[in-house]
Amino acid sequence: MKILVINCGSSSVKYQLIDTDNRRSLAKGMVSRIGMSASVLTHKPFDRPEVKVSGEILDHIVAVEYVVSILMSENHGVIKDRSEIEAIGHRVVHGGEKFTESVLITPGLLSEIRNLIELAPLHNPHNIRGINACQKALPGIPMVAVFDTAFHHHMPASAYIYGIPYVMYKRYGIRRYGFHGTSHKYVSARAAEMLGKPIEELKIITCHLGNGASISAIKNGVSIDTSMGFTPLEGLIMGTRSGDLDPAIILHIMAREELSLHEANTLLNKHSGLIGISGVSSDMREIIEAVDENNKKAKIALDCYCYRLKKYIGAYTSVLSGLDALVFTAGVGENSPIVRQMSCEGLDFFGIKIDEGKNKEAIGKEMDISAEGSQIHTFVIPTNEELVIALDTEKIVKESLNS
Ligand code: ADP
């Protein structure tokens, strides 16, 4: 089946056309700066060079029209007619407690996703915009919502309940939900394949280290704890987000700096993490460059980032009562030997030992980087969230056609 995977942000639409029969990506790209000056579509067919097209892309509907046109274009296209797109899979960030797996999008379902905006005001509105845009640009094609939260649905209450009055959970749904579910699901399944063992018999920790970052403890194929919480702000130190914090700090800063709720939100989500500590960049590559140039604050940022990660690896090894595999994925996880080395340093007593040479070699490719004789396998596995979304979409659409 040819499935168009859509991931919509406030001013961007990322897409990928995947043929699920052979699990191949036919083309992928991104429309950026939607509604701004100099909007641009970057498109890469699997067998030809990347192209950039600029245009006046006023909204997400026009963006999807651009995507469909280039997918069908003579020079850069990979299909002849829009009818070749058999289904569309949408990444939806928050599924709340209601959506424990991917679902077919119907008008009723859309209004339920709308009801979740309160839980994910920064993300779900854009995802809904993407769904509406596809309904207009590609009418009649079945669409599926794949939720970032769904994979974490089976966490026990001990992992998802916060130490605040229980009534807050009941009244406002305040609990840990977890995010990056499709990525944690994909790389844990790949780790099991690489170990040649059924995932139902394995204890795996997956570290998704992108601009946003989260770590998950996966027991027998089920996520039993994860570091992102009620929102994607909790847990690891990220590019621009603080991660774990004494909650009193924000109250204190708001009082001292006379910040509004909106400003406090921006401080924690956009001006904290690597950029906040270092003042250099939110991009790990630039942090590492600055560390090499002896920038002290960049060094503190890198140390904090890796220390927090190590702390979680230790905590989740306890939560899992042992460990078979540790996985690094996403931009930093796939490409940064130094982060992997620093966050695993001194963990030999757990059985985690990585090979220096293999670690340096593993840049953006699937590899077992464990040292010989290491009890626990450490893997670098490039994530493929789009493939998970495409496969889920195919499954749900086929089920709905058969029912
Ligand atoms: P997103 O969360 O936006 O999907 P990615 O998974 O693409 O992000 O990760 C982006 C981050 O990956 C960048 O901000 C950068 O810090 C990091 N990154 C990419 N390449 C490297 C590299 N070679 N070394 C260190 N970090 C890298």
Reported confidence tier of residue 37, pLDDT bands at 50, 70, 90: confident
The alpha carbon of residue 325 and the mean position of all alpha carbons in its chain are separated, in whole angstroms, by 20
Residue 215: closest CA among 313, 321, 298: 313
**Which H or E run contains 200?**
none
Distance 268 CA to ligand 1 centre (A): 20
The finding on whether 330 has its CB within 6 A of some atom of ligand 1 is yes
Reported confidence tier of residue 44, pLDDT bands at 50, 70, 90: very high
pLDDT at 352 over 90: yes
**pLDDT at residue 125, rounded to an integer:** 87
Exposure class string for 313-331: b at 16+ Cβ within 10 A, else e: beebbebbeebbbbbbbbb
The finding on whether 283 has its CB within 6 A of some atom of ligand 1 is yes
**148 an active-site residue?**
yes
Distance 342 CA to ligand 1 centre (A): 17
The finding on whether 275 has its CB within 6 A of some atom of ligand 1 is no
Whole-number Å distance between alpha carbons of 233 and 214? 10
Tell me the mean pLDDT in the region 124-140. Answer: 91
Best residue for ligand 1 mutational test, from 292, 329, 336, 360 (most atoms within 8 Å of Cβ): 336
The finding on whether 335 has its CB within 6 A of some atom of ligand 1 is yes
Distance 210 CA to ligand 1 centre (A): 5
Sequence-distant (≥ 6) Cβ neighbours of residue 187 within 8 angstroms? 206, 208, 327, 329, 379, 381, 383
The finding on whether 336 has its CB within 6 A of some atom of ligand 1 is yes
The finding on whether 341 has its CB within 6 A of some atom of ligand 1 is no
Domains in the chain, CATH or no CATH each: 2-147 (3.30.420.40), 199-385 (3.30.420.40)
Reported confidence tier of residue 149, pLDDT bands at 50, 70, 90: very high
Whole-number Å distance between alpha carbons of 295 and 291? 5
The finding on whether 284 has its CB within 6 A of some atom of ligand 1 is yes
DSSP string, 282-349: SSHHHHHHHHHTT-HHHHHHHHHHHHHHHHHHHHHHHHTTS-SEEEEEHHHHHH-HHHHHHHHTT-GG
Best residue for ligand 1 mutational test, from 16, 32, 284 (most atoms within 8 Å of Cβ): 284
State the CB neighbour count (10 A cutoff) for residue 306. 20
The finding on whether 210 has its CB within 6 A of some atom of ligand 1 is yes
Sequence-distant (≥ 6) Cβ neighbours of residue 203 within 8 angstroms? 217, 218, 219, 220, 320, 321, 322, 323, 324, 325
Q: Which one has a higher pLDDT value, 191 or 116?
A: 191
Mean pLDDT of the chain: 95
Distance 105 CA to ligand 1 centre (A): 31
State which ligand 1 atom lies nearest to the alpha carbon of 239.
14
pLDDT tens profile 74-127: 999 999 999 999 999 999 999 999 999 999 999 888 888 888 888 888 788 889
Distance 44 CA to ligand 1 centre (A): 19
pLDDT at 3 over 90: yes
**pLDDT at residue 402, rounded to an integer:** 86
> 145 φ, ψ to 5°?
-100, 130
State which ligand 1 atom lies nearest to the alpha carbon of 213.
2
The finding on whether 231 has its CB within 6 A of some atom of ligand 1 is no
Shortest-distance Cα residue to atom 8 of ligand 1: 210
Distance 194 CA to ligand 1 centre (A): 24
**pLDDT at residue 231, rounded to an integer:** 93
Whole-number Å distance between alpha carbons of 2 and 81? 12
Whole-number Å distance between alpha carbons of 104 and 95? 13
Distance 330 CA to ligand 1 centre (A): 7
Tell me the mean pLDDT in the region 10-19. Answer: 94
Decide the pairing of beta strands 213-219 and 103-104: unpaired
Whole-number Å distance between alpha carbons of 65 and 4? 13
Tell me the mean pLDDT in the region 279-289. Answer: 97
The finding on whether 333 has its CB within 6 A of some atom of ligand 1 is no
Predicted TM-score (pTM) of this structure: 0.94
Which of these is catalytic: 148, 324, 368, 392?
A: 148
Shortest-distance Cα residue to atom 12 of ligand 1: 331
**pLDDT at residue 123, rounded to an integer:** 81
